Amino acid sequence: MRRFADMRHGLAGGALLLALAAVPIACEAATSRGLDEGLTKVDGGTLRGRLAKEVWSFKGVPYAQPPVGALRWRAPQPPKAWTGVREAATPGPICMQKIVPDNGVGPGLASEDCLTLNVFAPAGAAGRRLPVMVWIHGGGFVNGSSGAALYDGTQLARQGVVVVTLNYRLGRFGFFAHPALTAETPEGPLANYGLLDQAAALTWVQRNIAQFGGDPRNVTLFGESAGGMSVNRLMAMEAARGLFHKAIIASGLGREQGQSLKTAEASGEAFAARRGLKAVSAAQLRAVPAADILVAGDLNLFAGEAPILDGKVARQGPVAAFAEGAVAPIPMIIGSNDLELPAASAGLLLEKLIGVPEARKAAAIAGYGSPAAYAEHIATDLVFAEPARTLAKAHAGRGAPTYLYRFSVVSAKAPAGMSGAVHGADRQYVFQTLAASPWPTDERDAALAKTISAYWVSFAKTGDPNGPGRPRWPRYGDGDQLIDFTNAGPRAMATPNAAPLDALAASYPATPTSELGR
């Protein structure tokens, strides 16, 4: 879980949009002449990229000013211009986080100065209008980065799309509230600075992606874990409407509710008090050393510490938003891995934390076939599979093209005892970056990765993942069907474990609320 249109509606109290409007849009004619030579002009200045494997990459591109000093805990501001040609050969610093061994983190030192993105465009893209895929990394909103080799966009770009991967503020740098900050900017936006960063990156894409041969009218937003959670939230964010046109949500939870702004402010006061800061001002908060903020501990997704229900950027939990139709009615792929959280002890603990009524538990056990099967699958299904299916039902029920999946691939050389696809195991298949897998892979994995990646790219191009040479993926709503990515290849089928998933879904209130139990 460590790795979890129009902007008139006030993304940054109007300030961000006004500032962006003041920046001249880069000259497309200049791009047509320069991109094939590795040069392109964007907001801020000229970039020089690198060509490898028939793909141009432009890395470490600033999409906002560094959120440091007076800009800490503020909405992102447009990037400042630079002079000359900026070399874009390496990713920017990763956002502040505790560095842990994780193939989704990537190289480099952690810094608050981290609001950069990377662009991958196929050679010959200049002057074209290729589909765009924008990736949001996972990491529980506390770790990860866009510069990890796992998220290299080269193989996706080789299939005829422009790929963007981005950094966003993490931990308390990205999700934090305090009465002093609220008093300073009472109209907001507040608390969800990481989500605001993502929306700012999408705005940058709208303004600049044509310079790389991308079509700003055909943008697919995709993410995994916290990245998938972010896609859910951005689909519901009024200020993000029109900034993307399709969505892919991988292992993106959905039942999380989030603290209210008032609760988050109280948490912020407690954080400041532990540092000896009482009756503190916004300036004093911003003067706290970054290292002190980092050592205060990670955010807890299950306690609702990210994202925060501030009332503007995030108004309600995903299930409530989808049930009410308060999300963008765009084509969507959603799904999860078949054994995301395999530890039975953790699953039973989580079951008690969430609170499955005994009657529903008995029905779920009966559906799984045994208490042992229940213990093995309950955590995965409570956190990932049931919410994904519930969101798919709601979205398809309102007429939006929706595709549900399960990822069940387990490499032949995966660790002994791995009986299912664990959390995050799908990423190296989507990006075709098997060399970054935490365990060895073989030719079978390479063939599966090529097929899975092709589904994702076809969806980005047309809103339908289907294409020649691949098993047909049925639309959800034409039945309770999904596609299961197995070791033997993709298989369309009725949703597995439908009975226990129904029992788990029935454990929740019939009418979702914005903030359960808070």
pLDDT tens-place string over residues 323-363 = 999 999 999 999 999 999 887 666 666 676 667 788 788 88
pLDDT band for 49, please (50, 70, 90 cuts): very high
Q: Which candidate in 377, 423, 437, 458 is catalytic? A: 423
Is the confidence at residue 64, as pLDDT, over 60?
yes
Residues above pLDDT 90, as percent of the chain:
77
Nearest in space to 404 (alpha carbons), one of 387, 426, 390, 389: 389
What does pTM read for this prediction? 0.92
Read off φ and ψ for residue 214, nearest 5 degrees.
Answer: -95, 155
Residue 484 to residue 368: CA distance in whole angstroms = 18
Task: Tell me the domains of the chain and their CATH numbers.
Answer: 15-216+240-303 (3.40.50.1820), 331-505 (3.40.50.1820)
423 is catalytic: yes
146 is catalytic: no
Q: Which candidate in 145, 146, 225, 437 is catalytic? A: 225
Average per-residue pLDDT for the chain: 90
DSSP β-bridge partners for residue 336: 406
251 is catalytic: no
Q: Is the dihedral of CA 321, 322, 326, 329 positive or negative?
A: positive
pLDDT tens-place string over residues 130-147 = 999 999 999 999 999 999
Residue 196 makes CB contacts below 8 A (sequence gap 6+) with 11, 12, 16, 75, 76, 189, 313
pLDDT band for 449, please (50, 70, 90 cuts): very high
pLDDT tens-place string over residues 209-254 = 999 999 999 999 999 999 999 999 999 999 999 999 999 999 999 9
Element (H, E) at 52: strand 50-52
Q: Which candidate in 112, 224, 305, 340 is catalytic? A: 340
Give whole-number Cα distances, 333 to 230, 380, 393, 405, in Å: 14, 19, 12, 8
